[in-house]
């Protein structure tokens, strides 16, 4: 029976990319403002 040799997987960094998150929020800023304004009006 053949044994499969597993190659070590590259380790991904456990970091938070703040720039990427801020870019996504900036794109959705209009929606965020509308939803926030709607809840403030209640």
pLDDT of 12 reads 66
Task: Supply 2's token pair.
Answer: 């053949």
pLDDT of 11 reads 63
Q: Is residue 8 part of a domain?
A: no
Tally of domains in the chain: 1
Q: Is residue 9 part of a domain?
A: no
pLDDT of 2 reads 62
User: Rounded to an integer, what distance in angstroms lies between the CA atom of residue 1 and that of residue 10?
Assistant: 28
- Taking only the tens place, the pLDDT of each residue in 8-41 is 666 666 788 899 999 999 999 999 999 999 999 9
According to DSSP H, which parts of 1-41 are helical? 18-27, 29-41
Q: Is residue 10 part of a domain?
A: no
The domain of 41 spans: 16-42
pLDDT of 32 reads 94
pLDDT of 6 reads 72
């Amino acid at each position: 029976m053949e044994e499969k040799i597993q190659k070590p997987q590259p380790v991904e960094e456990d970091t938070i990319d703040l720039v990427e998150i801020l870019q996504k929020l900036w794109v959705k800023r209009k929606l965020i403002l509308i939803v926030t304004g709607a809840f403030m009006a209640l």
